[in-house]
Structure 1
Amino acid sequence: MGGSATASVVGGVLLIVILAVIIWIIAAYNRLVRLRNQADASWAQIDVQLKRRYDLIPNLVQTVQGYAAHERGTLDAVVAARGNAMNMSQGGGPAQRAEAEGMLTQALGRLIAVAEAYPDLKANQNFAALQIELANTEDKIAYARQFFTSAVQSYNNAAQTLPTNLIAGLGGFRAREFFQAAGEERGPVQVRF
């Protein structure tokens, strides 16, 4: 009787350990899925704000063009940078998109600087409203990027630390890139009134 009772206890303990491991695997996998989905959702928010900025740029360029038509090089640079950034939004990864967005931000900065030389343009209500919208959009992009960075960091930490990285490797969870613009030490687009 003693041998079968011991075997029964050992079998029960073994069953509990196996169930605990299975439950942990399921929980770890589900956590990775949640973190990946959160990173995807935060990337979508960056995308929404970038598209909003893309939509503002033609109006801004058109307004400046009406007052500073001979600043063609600056206007063309903004349009080209916008086109490049929009192309990257169709298939570029975070690093390529960040580089394209950095170029667009620099071109917009030059465009805003051009406006400083034209008092009539600075006084134009449409231009002022577009500058405010652009500044608000830049703030929203910065916030969305911050949220994305946090989500990617949480996801990458979970996917790369023991023991969850075992589940991540088996489940195909790969580390994500951060959205970090080239020349990150630069400030936001300066908008002056």
Structure 2
Amino acid sequence: MLPIFIAIIVIVVVIALWVISTQRKLVALDENVSNSMSQIGVQLSSRFDALTALLDLTKGYAKHESETLIETIKSRRSVITAKSTPEDVLRQEGIISEALGRIAMVTEQYPELKANQTYIKTMNAVETYENMVRTSRLIYNDSVTKLNREIRMFPACLIASMLGFKQRDYLEEQPTKTDMPSMK
């Protein structure tokens, strides 16, 4: 009787350790996804700041257009956090793309603005942040892949469903993206 009791205790302990281990792995993967989304938020925020600086430069050339655009951005801008969704990110990227398209129209009308060194440096900063957002998106999607794969695999799927872990959505490329103004 004692060996059966010990065997049952060992089995229960092994199962408990496996559940704890699986839960810890799922938490780590979930945190990686949240952290990746936060990084996208930081990059988008920096990109908005560079965009605002770019709009300040255009004030001398097209004051009404730039003031209207600044107000539009301020009213539609939101902060991307770890709890944000891919749709939130796409919405913010759409706002930036729209603003860049309108800035491109202004710079086409004022070649001296396009040749301004401060404008060129600021546009380069906007492009740098764009590249950083792309990198952050790749990291986010990679983190989502790892989490989703773990959630779907047996027997971890049992623990994931019991503990409320859910698959996350990927960040997909926007179907219609306005090109950035050219620096040439």
When normalised by structure 2's length, the TM-score is: 0.84
User: 1:82 & 1:148 partners in 2: Cα distance?
Assistant: 26
Q: Residue 99 of structure 2 aligns with which residue?
A: 107
Q: Percent identity?
A: 25
Larger radius of gyration: 1
Kindly state the Cα deviation for residue 31 of structure 1 after the two structures are TM-superposed. Answer: 0.2
Structure 1 residue 93 and structure 2 residue 114: aligned? no
- In structure 2, the gaps of 5 or more residues are none
1:171 to 156, 163, 173: 163
Structure 1 spans left out of the alignment, 5+ residues:
none
| Corresponding residue of 1:30 | 24
* Residues 85 and 101, structure 1, Cα contact 8 Å, conserved in 2: no
Q: CA deviation at 1:57?
A: 1.9
Alignment-derived partner of residue 183 in structure 2: 192
Give the counterpart letter for 1:58 in structure 2.
T
Going from structure 1 to structure 2, the CA distance change for 1:82 and 1:150 (only over 3 Å counts) comes to: farther
The residue aligned with 1:148 is 140
* CA–CA separation in structure 2 for the residues paired with 1:161 and 1:140: 32
Residue 52 of structure 1, aligned match among 28, 42, 46: 46
Q: Answer yes or no: is the 8 Å Cα contact 1:101–1:181 preserved in 2.
A: no
Give the deviation of 1:168 after TM superposition: 1.4
Across the two proteins, how many residue pairs are aligned to each other?
A: 183
Measure the CA separation in 2 of the matches of 1:52 and 1:37. Answer: 23
